[in-house]
A and B are shown apart, each in its own frame.
Chain A
Amino acid sequence: MAGRKILMVALVTTLWYGWLGASWVFPSDPPPAGEELESVAVRVYLTEGALPSDDPHSAVWDSAAPSEFKLAPQVHWPDRIQEATVKSVKVRGLHNGQDVAILVEYQDPTEDAADAAALEFMVGDKKAHFAHGQELLQVEGGPVNIWYWKKANGKGTDMSAKGFKTLRPQDQQDVSATGAWQDGTWKVVFSRPLETGDEHDVQINPGEWISVAFAFWDGQIVDGAIKEQGSQKAVSSWWYIRAEPQPDNSIYGYVVLGIAMAVGFEFFLIRKIRRGNQA
Chain B
Amino acid sequence: MKGPLFNTAVVLAGIYVFLKFILPLFTAPLPASLIFLYLALTLGALMIFYTMSGESLEAFMGPVHRFLVGEGQTGVANIARLLVFIVFPLLVGWQTYTKLAPSDDPPPESRTIHPAPPGEFVGLANPYPKNNQTIQEGKGIYASNCSPCHGENFDGKGLAAVGFNPPPANFSDPGTIAQLQESYLFWRIKKGGVGLPVEGMPWKSAMPRWEHELSDEKIWKVIIGEYDGAHQSPRTWEEEE
Contact A237 B196 (CB under 8 A): no
A198 within 8 A of B: no
Question: Would you call B92 and A262 a contact (CB within 8 A)?
Answer: yes
Given A20-B92, A41-B106, A238-B203, A26 and B160 contact (CB-CB distance below 8 Å): no
Q: Inside 8 A of B129's CB, which chain A residues have their CB? A: none
Known contacts being A6-B57, A6-B61, A137-B191, is A129 close to B198, with CB within 8 Å? no
B131 within 8 A of A: no
Q: Which of A111-119, A152-160, A181-189, A270-278 contacts B (4 or more CB under 8 A)?
A: A270-278
- B interface majority secondary structure: helix
Q: Which A residues touch B208, using CB under 8 A?
A: 75-77
Asked whether A33 is an interface residue with its Cβ less than 8 Å from the other chain, the reply is: no
**Cα A78 to Cα B145 with chains together (Å):** 11
> Known contacts being A75-B206, A138-B196, A263-B89, is A237 close to B65, with CB within 8 Å?
no
The segment from B132-140, B161-169, B176-184, B226-234 found at the interface with A is: B161-169
- Residues in chain B near residue A137, CB distance under 8 A: 191, 194-195, 202
Given A237-B164, A240-B106, A269-B68, check contact A14 B54 (CB 8 Å): no
Closest residue of chain A to B88 (Cβ to Cβ) is A262
A33 CB to closest chain B CB, in angstroms? 12
- The complex places the Cα of A69 from the Cα of B208 at a distance, in Å, of 22
- Is B25 in the interface zone, CB < 8 Å from A? no
- A28 at interface by CB-CB < 8 Å: yes
CB distance from A208 to the nearest CB of B (A): 10
Answer whether A75 and B40 are a contact pair too, CB < 8 Å, given A128-B203, A258-B92.
no
Tally of B interface residues using CB under 8 Å:
60
Which residues 169-209 of B have a CB within 8 angstroms of A? 191, 193-198, 201-208
The answer to whether residues A138 and B197 also contact, given A129-B202, A262-B89 and a CB cut-off of 8 A, is yes
Whether A72 pairs with B163 at a CB distance below 8 angstroms is yes
A255 touches B163 (CB 8 A): no
Q: In the complex, are the beta carbons of A258 and B93 less than 8 A apart?
A: yes
Q: Judging by beta carbons under 8 Å apart, are B148 and A234 in contact?
A: no
Knowing A7-B57, A13-B64, A273-B69 touch, does A255 contact B197 (C-beta < 8 A)? no
**In the complex, which residues 24-46 of chain B have their Cβ closer than 8 Å to any Cβ of chain A?**
31-33, 35-36, 40, 43
Tell me, yes or no, whether A52 is within 8 Å of chain B by CB.
no
Mask, A83-97, CB within 8 Å of B = 1, is: 100000000000000
**Would A138 and B195 count as touching, CB distance under 8 A?**
yes
User: 0/1 per residue, A1-31, Cβ < 8 Å to B?
Assistant: 0010011001101100010101101111100
CB pair A72 B204 closer than 8 Å:
no
Q: Does the CB pair B43–A18 fall under 8 Å?
A: yes
How far apart are B149's CB and chain A's nearest CB, in angstroms?
6
A235 touches B163 (CB 8 A): yes
B78-112 with Cβ < 8 A to chain A = 85, 88-93, 95-97, 100-102, 104, 106-107
Interface presence of A50 (CB below 8 A) = no
A72 touches B95 (CB 8 A): no
Given contacts A20-B95, A78-B213, contact A72 B161 (CB under 8 A): yes
| Contact A3 B57, CB 8 Å, known A134-B194, A137-B191, A263-B89 | yes
Give bound CA distance, A41 to B104, whole Å: 9
Contact A251 B101 (CB under 8 A): yes
The residue on A at minimum CB distance from B213 is A78
Nearest chain A CB to B191's CB is how many angstroms away? 6
Whether a CB of chain A sits under 8 angstroms from the CB of B159 is yes
Contact check, B36 vs A7: say whether CB atoms are below 8 A apart.
Answer: no
* A-binding residues in B (CB < 8 A): 31-33, 35-36, 40, 43, 47, 51, 54, 57, 60-61, 64-65, 68-69, 85, 88-93, 95-97, 100-102, 104, 106-107, 118, 148-149, 159-165, 167, 191, 193-198, 201-208, 213
The 7 lowest CB-CB distance pairs between A and B, nearest first, are A72-B163, A262-B89, A258-B96, A262-B92, A259-B93, A240-B106, A72-B160
